[in-house]
Amino acid sequence: MHPGHRRAVFIAMLALVVAGALAWSFLPRALPVEVAGVTRGPMAIQVSDNGRTRIREIYRLSAPVGGRLLRVEVHPGDEVVGGKTLVAELQPIPPSFLDVRTRAQATAAVDAAQAAQALAAAEVRRQRAQLAFATSEYARTEALMKLDATSRANLERARLERDSATAALASAEAALKVKGSDLVAARALLIDPGNATGQSARDSIPLVAPVSGSVLRVASESETALPAGAPILEVGDPRKIEVVAELISEDAVKVRAGDAASITDWGGPVPLDARVRRVEPAGFTKVSALGVEEQRVNVLLDPAGSSAPWSTLADGFRVIVHITVWSKPDVVRVPVSALFRQGGGWAAFVLRKGRAVRAAISIGHASDEFAEVLAGLRPGDRVIVHPSDRIRDGVRVRQEATPSE
């Protein structure tokens, strides 16, 4: 072959190779995707939130009157018997110190009371003398009456004076007692902590446990002065425990009495079974850790199943509550990470013959992990999870990894 022809053939072949390489480089390549399967199995919807344990009925013992609380000898955890166990003792509060003005006024009141008592005593002595004279006068008049030496009117007048003198003496003696009581009251104003006598046992008010159970907490253990109504301690039965969860109102409306629940993060290796007893009818406002006001509702749960693990919990323990608001034993389910919005419905990319095929689907209930498939997918279909904006209907894809299902 002529050298010129060989050169032309070589150049043509080289051009074909370059053209083929360029064409291959511009061909669309398969996009790497993660794929998960559509499965059939049980599915449940839960609402979860923080909760805490509490004794169902807590009885708070308070000071019935103001007084001095003696040192409380019972401690949290001690067993008490309702109506029998003495848990505290209350005594009258000692008088306070007197300032100079108050002491001077109290001293003057004592002097005035002493003078009034002396005046009342003098009046008693005068009335006694009057009674003695009236009595003797009546006796003389009565003797003369027997001798017909005086009139009956004089006898009756003498009897009247004797009776009047008797009544006057009784009145004077009563006034003397009143002045004596006033003197005692005036002297009591001068009593201060320095000269007050110690309280006797009969002055104390014994406080007994209101119910049988355990002492939960002691508000004031040392001796102190308390006003009326001040809390002293709390008593409850630790066997009667419940869990209260403060759910957001939009979650609380899904919960019904009797719903099953599980308690986690309580410190044990397995979740505890519980059941909803009541959803309280009134909500309240609570500020979250981020400073957002939230409407919360208390949901009360009772222990279910074995009571042995529950015996390790006490009042005020933190737990996590998971309440099952819907469940079904056999549904077609798809990972929620494979779903995306299409108009007013939902769709997913199904992997078929190496290409992504968009499928419109209808879903029912959805949890954080799965969604219930009502139509559009079948068990065994492979769907693309976390589809990017590069995934289009019919685009070539290749499976890169399969997340755990």
pLDDT, tens only, 320-358: 999 999 999 999 999 999 999 888 899 999 988 888 899
Sheet holding 224-226, edge to edge: 205-208, 86-91, 67-69, 224-226
**Mean pLDDT of the 237-265 span:** 93
- Where residue 66 falls among pLDDT bands split at 50, 70, 90? confident
- Where residue 199 falls among pLDDT bands split at 50, 70, 90? low
Residue type for 15, please?
A
pLDDT at position 76, please?
A: 92
Q: Per-residue pLDDT tens for 276-292?
A: 999 999 999 999 888 89
Could you tell me the two tokens for 268?
């044990």
**Mean pLDDT of the 21-27 span:** 53
What lies within 8 Å, CB to CB, of 282 at 6+ separation is 297
CA atoms of 145 and 159, how far apart (whole Å):
13
Q: What share of the chain is helix, strand, coil (3-state, %, to 5)?
A: 30, 40, 30
pLDDT at position 10, please?
A: 65
pLDDT at position 306, please?
A: 80
- Where residue 197 falls among pLDDT bands split at 50, 70, 90? low
Burial group, residue 328, by CB count within 10 angstroms (0-12, 13-18, 19+): middle
**Mean pLDDT of the 83-98 span:** 86
Strands 382-385 and 31-37: antiparallel
The closest alpha carbon to 66, from 223, 228, 204, 220, belongs to 228
Report yes or no: 238 and 71 within 8 Å, Cβ to Cβ.
Answer: no
Q: Per-residue pLDDT tens for 352-372?
A: 888 889 999 999 998 888 999
Whether the pLDDT of residue 404 is over 50: the answer is no
Could you tell me the two tokens for 378?
């079948």
Residue carrying the six token digits 């066997």? 239
The closest alpha carbon to 354, from 387, 308, 297, 400, belongs to 400
What lies within 8 Å, CB to CB, of 13 at 6+ separation is none
* Mean pLDDT of the residues in the chain: 86
Buried b / exposed e across 278-290, counting CB within 10 Å, b at 16+?
ebeeebeeeeeee
Sheet holding 213-218, edge to edge: 58-62, 231-236, 213-218, 79-80
pLDDT at position 262, please?
A: 94
Strands 272-287 and 260-264: antiparallel
**Mean pLDDT of the 78-96 span:** 88
The closest alpha carbon to 276, from 293, 249, 254, 296, belongs to 254
Q: Which of 44-58, 186-200, 313-327 shows the lowest mean pLDDT across its residues?
A: 186-200
CA atoms of 284 and 13, how far apart (whole Å):
83
Residue carrying the six token digits 């599980």? 262
3-state secondary structure 291-357: CCEEEEEEEEEEECCCCCHHHHCCCCCEEEEEEEEEEEEEEEEEEHHHCEEECCEEEEEEEECCEEE
CA atoms of 343 and 338, how far apart (whole Å):
16
Whether the pLDDT of residue 133 is over 70: the answer is yes
pLDDT at position 103, please?
A: 84
How many CB atoms are located within 10 Å of the residue 268 CB? 13
CA atoms of 161 and 142, how far apart (whole Å):
13
Residue ranges of E strands in 161-309:
205-208, 213-218, 224-226, 231-236, 241-248, 260-264, 272-287, 293-303
Single pTM value for the model: 0.64
